[in-house]
Amino acid sequence: MHQTSSRLLRMTADDRPYTRDFKDLFSTLMVSLPLCSHRIRFKTYPFTFTSEEAINNLGSLKFSQSNRMPDPKDHTRIVTTTTTTTFSMAREMARSVCQRFMDARFIELADGKSTTFFPPKGTLWQLTPKGIHVLERFCQRNGIQQDHVIKLLQSSYNTMRLVILERDSVTDRLSQDKTTTEVIFRRFAGATPNIKASASISDSDSVSEYHDGVTGVRLAEARKIGDKVVKSSFTGKCAVDWLLDCCTTVERNETHEIINLFIQYGLIQSVFEDKAYVQSNPKAKGFQPTKTAVYVFTDKGKRVSGWIDGDRLSLQNGERGNDGNSIRGTSKGRSREDGFPRNQRETNTTRLTAILNDAALRLLYREYLRETVCEENLSFWLDVEDFNHNFRAIDKSKPDAVRETLAAAYGLYNAFLAPGSPCELNIDHTLRQDMASRMTRAVAKDDNAMYSSLMEVAALFDRAQQQVFKLMAGDSVPKFIQTQKYIEVAGDILEDERNGHSGVERSLSRRYNSNGVAP
C-alpha cells in the first residue's frame, strides 16, 4: 500500500510558512543531508553541511514513512504501508527557504561568525541546539533511524529544552492570553535571575549561554543610563535573542509580539527608549528590539517568575497567598480546587477537557508529558483534532484535497497506531485490528471510493482519540494536577475569573470551538 502526495508550503495571511510545515521541511532537509565533518583552515567541524548541499537537496526533497506488518487476514503475508511526501522548489526559492531557516535560528555558521544573509555557495553550516531539538522531535515522531542523524542526536550538541509555543490551528498565530504569556515569561526570566557583572557581558552577541533553554535572559547587574544606575536590566536585543533561541518562534516579528505582551500584562517595563528606532518605526513605541533600548522586570514580573514571594492564589488550601483571604465562594461559581464550575462533577475527564481547551495549561501539560516520556498521547489527540478539522473542510469535488488528507491519515497511522510505529499508542486489541484491516486495504482510484475510504479512516481515528483521551484522564492528569506548576497556573486562571478577565481573552486560547472552527 503506497500513498503519495506532493505538497506546497502552506502560507499564513502574513505570508510566512505554517510553523509545522516549516519545521517538517527543515527536518526533512536535515535527514537528507550527510551531516558529515568538514575541515576548514586546520579545524574540523562535525555534523555540518554546505550552502550548495542544502539548496540542491531542497530542489527535490522526498520523505517516506513505511511500516511493515502481518496482513490481518493472512498472517503469513507481510503488508507494507508507505507514505511519501514530496517538496519541490526552484533554486532561488530554496535559497530563500534556507534564509528563513537561518532567521529562525535553526542553523548557524559553523565558524561561529554572525551573518544576516544566506549565500548560495561557499559557506559551511551547522544546526543550532534549537534546530537539533526540532529535528529530534521530528525523528521521534517518524521513526527516523539513519546513523548520521542518530549520532547527532546522541552527541553533546543536543542540549536544548525548547519552549513549544501554542498556536491557533487555522491561522498559526501564537496564543496571546494572559496566562499563556505568563507561562512563557517564567521560562524567559529563569528560576533565578541570570545576572552578569557588567553590561558589556550581558549585552554580548553570544547566545551560547542559551543552549539549554532553561537559563533566563541575561541581566546587567548595574547599568548607567544618564545620571542614574539601573539594576538588573536587559536590552531589547537580548530579549529577542532569548525568544528566538529558546522557543519555537520562527521569525523576529513573533518575538516582538511576545515581548509586547510582556509589557501589556505588566511583567516588564521600559527604562530607556531607543528614540531613533521609534522615529523610523512608529509602531515600535512599546518595544524596540535594539541594544540601545533597556528594560527591567516589574515587581509583578518578579512575583510571576517566582523571584520574590507573591500575592497568589493557592489551590492547595483555598487561600490567597499572603493576605489570607479565602477564595471559597468566588464569582461565577468556581470551585476552590482548580477553577471548575461547582455545578459540574469534578472528574479527571472535566479537568482534561479544560486543559486541552486552554493554551497555558496545554503548554504545561505538554512539558509534563515530555518529562514523563508519554507526550505521544497528547500529540496524537491534537493531531486528530487537526485531521478532523481538515477532513470536515474538504471539498469533495477536488480529488487532490481528498488524496492529500488520505495521505495525512496514513502518516498519522504509521506514526502512532501501526504495530511497531515510533510513537505506538496503547489502544485496545479490537481497535488495533480494525485499524490494521482498514489501513492495509487498497484504496480505490475513483474519487467517490477514495472519499468513502477517508470517512472510514476518520471514524477509526475518532475511536482511537476517545481511547487516548480516557488514558490521559485516568493516568497522567491525576499526577499533573498535583504539580506545583499546574497549581500556580490554575490559580492564575482562577484569579482572572475573579477579576472578570476570563471571557473573550481566554476563549482565544482554544484550538477550535464546538463547531470545529478556530476562534
Q: Work out the widest C-alpha separation in the chain, in whole angstroms.
A: 84
Would you state the cell numbers that stand for residue 384, as one nine-digit string?
A: 486528530
Would you state the cell numbers that stand for residue 91, as one nine-digit string?
A: 533554486
Residue whose C-alpha is closest to residue 496's, from 260, 362, 327, 346: 327
Q: Please tell me the predicted confidence (pLDDT) of residue 517.
A: 42
Name residue 234's beta-bridge partners: 295
Same fold, 19-154 and 348-488: no
Bridge-based pairing of strands 228-235 and 218-225 is antiparallel
3-state class percentages of the chain: helix first, strand second, coil last, to nearest 5:
45, 20, 35
Domain boundaries, the chain: 19-154, 178-305, 348-488
Q: Please tell me the predicted confidence (pLDDT) of residue 519.
A: 43
Which runs of consecutive H residues, i.e. helices, occur in 211-320? 236-246, 252-264, 275-280, 299-305
Residue whose C-alpha is closest to residue 123's, from 106, 112, 113, 109: 109
Name residue 125's beta-bridge partners: 49, 109
Helix (H, G, I), strand (E, B) or coil at 203: coil
Beta strands in 35-173 (DSSP E): 36-40, 43-50, 60-71, 74-88, 107-109, 124-127
Whole-angstrom CA distances from 250 to 18, 201, 239 are: 10, 26, 15
Is residue 257 packed enough to be buried (19+ CB in 10 Å), middle (13-18) or exposed (0-12)? Answer: middle
Q: What parts of the chain have a pLDDT lower than 50?
A: 1-6, 69, 313-345, 503-509, 513-519
* Cα–Cα distance measured from residue 451 to residue 444, given in angstroms and rounded to the nearest whole number: 9
Q: Please tell me the predicted confidence (pLDDT) of residue 41.
A: 83
Topology of domain 178-305, per CATH?
Answer: Arc Repressor Mutant, subunit A (1.10.10)
Helix (H, G, I), strand (E, B) or coil at 42: coil
Helix H, strand E, coil C: the string for 309-350 is CCCCEECCCCEECCCCCECCCCHHHECCCCCCECCCCCCHHH
5, HSE (Cβ side, Cα atoms, 13 Å): 18
Compute how many other C-beta atoms are within 10 angstroms of the C-beta atom of residue 487.
17
CA quadruple 293, 299, 302, 307: dihedral sign = positive
Topology of domain 348-488, per CATH?
Answer: Regulator of G-protein Signalling 4; domain 2 (1.10.167)
- Region class of 93: left (phi > 0), else alpha (psi between -120 and 50), else beta: alpha
Q: Please tell me the predicted confidence (pLDDT) of residue 400.
A: 80
- CA 248 distance to own-chain centroid: 5
* 8-state DSSP, 374: -
Q: Please tell me the predicted confidence (pLDDT) of residue 316.
A: 46
**Residue linked to cell 509555543:** 165
Helix H, strand E, coil C: the string for 467-480 is HHHHHHHHCHHHHH
Residue whose C-alpha is closest to residue 493's, from 326, 337, 366: 337
- Is 50 within 8 Å of 124 (Cβ atoms)? yes
Q: Please tell me the predicted confidence (pLDDT) of residue 5.
A: 47
Residue whose C-alpha is closest to residue 439's, from 419, 422, 467, 425: 419
* Cα–Cα distance measured from residue 229 to residue 198, given in angstroms and rounded to the nearest whole number: 12
Would you state the cell numbers that stand for residue 509, as one nine-digit string?
A: 486560547
Dihedral angle, C-alpha 127, 130, 133, 139, nearest 10 °: -50
Helix (H, G, I), strand (E, B) or coil at 116: coil
Which numeric CATH code is attached to 19-154? 1.10.10.10
Name residue 88's beta-bridge partners: 60
Is residue 388 packed enough to be buried (19+ CB in 10 Å), middle (13-18) or exposed (0-12)? Answer: middle
Q: Please tell me the predicted confidence (pLDDT) of residue 341.
A: 43
